Structure 1
């Protein structure tokens, strides 16, 4: 029996490990939420009370005695998402109980393998049980809740295997005498150590109270259905299986960190058909267009998601100790005191370190002066990350940081005029799409003027669905066609 127990316990561990390879990142659609049980792993333990109901029982006995059976348990939980998880649980418990009122004249209630018993109403049993169970965890609270709560309800449904060693006794002449007939010598269900085993099904309800971010206290109660009839050391014709009721209290310690991603979806489609725009690093550039999707929080990026490198020395500003002065990577981005071309400008600040130039052009000859074309290109890339509410010209809050970056770049080229173009996909009528695209372009223009860009430098124009860049036959293409483009005025057709 011990070999069977070890085999099932090992199988449960393998199953838990296999499921554990799934992602546990919390993904939400349309808004940001913070669910309580999105931590991936948790461990816990506690104490339990075991109430038996079979041929013999723990409460409601013939002699009005209630038998309290205390035990303990340990478990490991793995949540795959805020709703579902698995639990591997190890248990130990005392088991005991007394007789119901038996009718000795009826074979239906007679206990087998106990011929020496003189009065069935004076029988009782004692023993211990230990085992393992694998439960599916289903969060009832997270099914409807979108904010964290101090209280949490979950269901646990599973299968278990346990071994037990129980013996039958008869209270006679003031002594509790063990009945040898019920042991392995007569009872074929027992092994040579007088042990038996069985599989059981369980259904439990747990109520948790959060103590802090890491610790929960849980009260759990449930019914167990044992597939054998000799857990109480008694076999009769009354029933072929037994039930037991367990209540427990314990503590859970949550491990790891919550991972929360915000996904913006096509609200008209909804559910699994929504085209997902994921911005992992929250820099305003969706991952599909972000060449550096994991830049640290707060780092300024270009429209393609690449971290800004103000001095163009190959080190992004957040890693560059001298972000406004050109310097080699070997010197952590700071300039070396060398003037290779002899123009009086140190190589660290010279954009053309091997060609003599002027101070006004940062070390480059006049004909190689820095042009605004690079800034215009950056503005065009950033504009791809401006988003609006569905069927509205209201700019999404996530886009204002991107527009602010565009405004900063525009102020570096004060003589350049820009046109803001609005585009849509092919859903809705041509007239409505033209109207919506014009309104969206005008909203961006209005915000830029409020932030200090001169009115005469900006023009807004809507093109509706007339200039798609991607196919409108799928949700992904339509999402990318709903866009804003910002170009120098001279490039407008």
Structure 2
């Protein structure tokens, strides 16, 4: 009887050891439940199975091959978006990437107002040769962007009567329009209008201010 009990005890011990071995084979190394972040995944908190420097509890990609699945940790690359024409509108939304420097542009980077930098002597509307550089630049712009039209606006200072200034501003706008047409831009793309002394940009109380008000600008339209 004693021998039979001894055999039963030995047999039970073997079974227990076998079961423990099977559990160990399934669950891995012998760790407590507190060492796991997720029992279903079998992730040990301080383990790094793929050797990528990210411990498994924080690693969404537990393989050594490059991470491709959505949600995997990837190296972030800094994206630099340029402003090629330096108009203040970045290239990713700029629809006119070759706007000349100094042109006022809209929200998509296309010119809407161009200071043609043409100034006139008092009571004159002829274009002096030292004021053609910006005009020639504008002409090249119009040749490259055939979808644009422009209204040429003439302005004066307050010297003289309002009536005479209105006529003078008309003539200034027309002379600039004619110069642009003579240099290769279709007249159907250009209009001219004079505003006289009604839209000054500087004070008319100084010589410098008056010179700034005797100007011509182009308002671009698509």
Q: Normalising by structure 2, what TM-score?
A: 0.51
Task: Considering Cα pairs closer than 8 Å and 6+ residues apart, tell me whether 1 or 2 has the greater RCO.
Answer: 2
Q: More displaced, 414-423 or 474-483?
A: 474-483
1:370 partnered with 2:95: yes
| Alpha-carbon separation, structure 1, partners of 2:205 and 2:121 | 21
* Distance verdict in 2 for CA 1:367–1:401, change over 3 Å: closer
Equivalent residues of 1:393, 1:436 under 8 A apart: yes
Q: Please, which of 115, 121, 143 is the counterpart of residue 411 of structure 1?
A: 143
**Larger strand percent:** 1
Larger radius of gyration: 2
RMSD of aligned alpha carbons: 2.8
* Distance verdict in 2 for CA 1:355–1:389, change over 3 Å: closer
- Offset at 1:486? 1.0
* Distance verdict in 2 for CA 1:484–1:373, change over 3 Å: farther
* Distance verdict in 2 for CA 1:402–1:367, change over 3 Å: closer
* Distance verdict in 2 for CA 1:489–1:430, change over 3 Å: farther
Specify the SS of the correspondent of 1:484.
Answer: strand
Unpaired runs of 5+ residues, structure 2, are 1-77, 82-90, 106-110
- Aligned partner of 2:215 in structure 1 is 483
| Alpha-carbon separation, structure 2, partners of 1:354 and 1:454 | 42
- Aligned partner of 1:438 in structure 2 is 170
- Offset at 1:371? 2.4
Equivalent residues of 1:389, 1:395 under 8 A apart: no
1:387 partnered with 2:113: no
- Offset at 1:413? 1.4
Equivalent residues of 2:181, 2:187 under 8 A apart: yes
**Superposition pairs of residues 173-252 of structure 1, within 5 angstroms:** none
- Offset at 1:488? 1.1
- Aligned partner of 2:157 in structure 1 is 425
Q: Normalising by structure 1, what TM-score?
A: 0.24
**Larger helix percent:** 2
Number of aligned residues: 128
| Alpha-carbon separation, structure 1, partners of 2:122 and 2:205 | 19
